[in-house]
Structure 1
Amino acid sequence: MDQVTRHVPALDHLVAQGLLNDDPFVLIDAGCSGGIDGIWRHFGRNLVAHGFDPQKSECRRLQERESFPGVHYHAAFVGLPPDDPFVQGKSSMDREVMEYFNPWNRLSTAYAYNNFTRARAQSNSIGEDLVDEVPVRIDDFIRDEKLERVDFIKIDVDGPDLDVLRTTRDIVRPCGVLGFSLEVNFTGSHYESDNTLHNTDLIMRSMGFVLCDLSIRRYSRAALPAPFLLNMFAQTRFGQPIQGDAVYLRDIASPQYRKLWDEEPTPSQLLKMVGLYEMFRLPDLAAEALQVWRSTLAPLVDIDRLLDLLTPPLNGESLSHADYLARFMEDPTRFFPEALKPKA
């Protein structure tokens, strides 16, 4: 999750004040190899997380070294069963059309991986360690675990991400889901069942979420390989946009929020949204939410204190939210790049 900031003073303040003690933050992480991201641990003992990965040994390792009592790892594939109509419908997609819109086999990353024997051997050994059960639906898991609330869902399963997303639609409103982080593909066809950004975006908007961030990972063609950005066969310095991570959140400060969601957010949801906005480098959305819902939250927390914690320095000068805003209102040109150059 390279879209988050590790500096979250407003969220840290909310947790330190015990404002989430009665309503833990619940995370579903589909594709948790390596463990849940450290950013979620800012919720402290208020964190409840369920991570899924198909490697049995990886889940055992993660659980053995886990220090948070509310974090659980499950060895399972997540998604739709093979006999689901949506999965069955993929068989009618024209393979040549699919391959035209997905150049994966022509990428330098694919060439390097397929011809690097150690990587292939590792892949074969991993296959022996995978669970062989039918994929778990997220909505079924939530019902079986009797989870009344789920705050955030992250999906990154290297393939059937759209299938996994479809298993969340029935629990978004009953469980009060506040946001998603999704791996998305910029490549792909026009087919409705293809795992593409445009199909993902349609589902997310239909559920009431707005796109708040989008990263881009480029992959070069094997005809002219670009340097890798990491010490692994992955994204490259130049090339076609192939994948990225999309963050979708509720726009809780919108004047139309009640109409879209047909509900009044709870104080706890509002505070969690402030934390999520800050976490995903959206302090402006967090500030707007605090201003819109000031009367609801004022009995619980010092709103002006939170606004000050969210306010970034201006040209190296630390300012209160009120002073920062006054600078902009008096002269917005102070926010031009030339005005923000370091002083000599």
Structure 2
Amino acid sequence: MIEGRIEGRIVRRIVEAAGGIVYRRRKGRNGEPGDIEVCLVHRPKYDDWSWPKGKLDANESHRHAAVREIGEETGMPVALGPYLDDVEYPLSDEGKKRRKSNSSASVLKHVMFWMATPISEEEDRNRATAFGPVHRADVDEINSVVWLTPAEARRKLTHSTDKDLLAVFMDRLAEGADRAVPFLVVRHGKAEARKAWKGEEAHRPITPHGAACAFALSYELACFNPKRLTSSPWTRCLETMDMFSWQTKQKIIHLPQLTEDAFAENPQTAWECFHGEMLNAARTGTPTAICMHRPVIGGMFDHMRGMCASHSLAKRLIAKSPYMPTGTALAVFAVPQGDGTLTIIDLQKVVPLVY
């Protein structure tokens, strides 16, 4: 995708792309986890070694492009983890060892990078309907894929910007990011107006626009490969999760403590339920999605700010209603600590593309 950007009197075009650093742990002695390995790809056109990445398709988000491009270039289905960084350089520098970070070039390439981990073929089949097709890259585009330790990768990487990204990845590992799994907080799709709805509040459904957002949101949730789906049992929350549930053949677990009425009656019980789901996700390594209502999300955010690794991160948990737009999600990555607590190290807004 190419967009326009005006900087002073210079009009620049931006080629949007996305990718990731795919990592795994070697098997150590006696089956124990060993050293971290990262995945590099070789592009014969440029004769370079780099991170898997590629341009966005039409009507595609950066995160979806990252998962798709990694799958196409490495042959491995992956799920996204914590965010790494943006890289921008002149498109004319593609393939060059050194890329200019500040340039008057008229066309720039902007790439967003995530951490990513391989998932099994079975998991990939289960999410295929929600995610969409992935086609393996031709051999003239990618002709070799290797796993290396970070030290080996630094020597192998061709481009300075890729080496800089490796340093960001190592900083993330130091935070414990390899022990964080996606915890997806979902706000239900736009519901019918309270004043116009004649039935019981618990049965108020989402609107056609809300349904469109729920459908599009499935496309984004699949990038994180949630394996546990939970929700308030009220209709508007269940309808928001129904599409992803059907596409991935997963049941939705009802959490009655998270309805609007239950939260108003006992906020502490609602928090204990929500926090228990967070702990379970982190301790068992089970990516989880949880669908809730506006006031409940605000109450959970009040608790979560104190769990954030930094003040700047906590500020991203909005303190004012509506906290999150309807039909969107927030990907939360929390690291379990030795004392049984969790530390949130990354937050990512997940906004579906409805067109």
**Same fold, TM exceeding 0.5?**
no
Could you tell me the TM-score, scaled by structure 2's length?
Answer: 0.23
Greater percentage in helix:
1
